[in-house]
Structure 1
Amino acid sequence: MEDLYNTSKLSEPASPVASVASADIAAEFAALTVEEQERQRAEWSQELARVEEEINTLRTVLASKTRHSSELKRKLGITMWKEITDDMNQGLKNVKESSVFQRTESVLKSTSEKTASVFGSITSGITSKFSQMKNSESMRSIEEKVGSAYENVKTRVSTSRSGSITSFPDALNENNSSSGLNSPTDSVPK
């Protein structure tokens, strides 16, 4: 009798309601006479055997139905890959239709629009700064000096073909000395 009570304590049910029910059953069982306890045990053993037999029967029927289903699917050309694909598509559809996904999608869309707006304003700011810099006096002065140096070198090179100057570095040096610019070759030690 105490053995049965201890056994029920070892395999305690998960919920408090089931725990109370187990305690009630154990208390009722303890209140029975020895003959009644034996009769109850025999009854439970018979019921357990019947339930296990039903479980085995159901497993057999389920296995048979599963084989029959597989055979029908094979005849219809439904492959496992198609079933998986259909399940995945249905799952994705369910996720996309969920309210959580809808809210997340709207938040991400709003965030991307705000980010694009910020990058757009940064880009326009940089463009405007470059435009201002291009129109500044110092930039114009540099452009004029580079342009005139280029034209002078070009002129000297074309005249060098006629024989007055023999090489491009000579034309560059001659141009720099006439325009007052330092040649990159002047600063390099020889």
Structure 2
Amino acid sequence: MENTFEVFSPTASIASADIAAEFAALSAEEQEKQRTEWSQELARVEEEIETLRTVLTSKTRHASDLKRKLGITVWKEITEDMNQGIKNVRESSVYQKTESVFKSTAEKTSSIFEGITSKLSQMKNSDSMRSFEDKFSGVLQKTKISSRSGSVSSFTEENNGTSTGNLDGKLQP
């Protein structure tokens, strides 16, 4: 009897149903014989699996010993894997296209900011801005009077007599 079916395939349940139907069609003596064969085969497969696990464990241990002798550490392996991964990503076409778009965008943004900076510089150096700065600084100088004591009061407070200090730095009643 042939036991060829894939466990993870969608047809696995159909194959299992076929096997069950074939098994049910056997006589009681043939069914017992088939069970015995399957049990023996299962025992052999499990023994092979255990042997393979033992060999794999031994080979893994031997590889670790060789790596230790060669000075290859886990950290070094991780670093090499990461570097290789980064290299693979950088060489990918998606990364190349994305990098190109970012560079183009950065250049355009930079030129826009340079233009704005240039315009602001031109504005700052213009006659109208200088005139505005002169007028504004004149207003500030007129509204603030500082005394020798370090206190600052407004020009209108000085004229109304509500100031707490005078130009001598003495307190007034």
| Pair in the same fold by TM > 0.5 | yes
CA contact (8 A) 2:124 2:130 kept: no
Unmatched runs of 5 consecutive residues or more in structure 1 = 1-12, 151-167, 171-183
Is 1:143 matched with 2:120? no
Query: 1:140 offset after TM fit, Å?
Result: 3.1
User: Which TM-score applies when normalising by structure 2?
Assistant: 0.68
Q: 1:27 to 1:145 in 2, by over 3 A?
A: closer
Residue number in structure 2 paired with 1:174: none
- In the alignment, the residues of structure 2 paired with residue 62 and residue 50 of structure 1 have an alpha-carbon distance, to the nearest angstrom, of 18
- In the alignment, the residues of structure 1 paired with residue 132 and residue 58 of structure 2 have an alpha-carbon distance, to the nearest angstrom, of 93
Query: 1:145 offset after TM fit, Å?
Result: 9.5
2:119 pairs with one of 125, 129, 138: 125
Q: 1:32 to 1:113 in 2, by over 3 A?
A: farther
Is 1:186 matched with 2:155? yes
Is 1:41 matched with 2:35? yes
Q: 1:41 to 1:145 in 2, by over 3 A?
A: closer
Is 1:72 matched with 2:71? no
1:10-45: CA deviations, max 9, x gaps? xxx553233332232223223222222222221111
Query: 1:74 offset after TM fit, Å?
Result: 1.4
User: Which TM-score applies when normalising by structure 1?
Assistant: 0.63
Q: Which has the higher helix share?
A: 1
Number of positions where the alignment pairs a residue of Structure 1 with one of Structure 2: 144
**Residue type matched to 1:57 in 2?**
T
Unmatched runs of 5 consecutive residues or more in structure 2 = 1-6, 164-173
Q: 1:36 to 1:106 in 2, by over 3 A?
A: farther
Percent identity between the aligned chains?
63
**Residue type matched to 1:94 in 2?**
N
**Residue type matched to 1:187 in 2?**
T
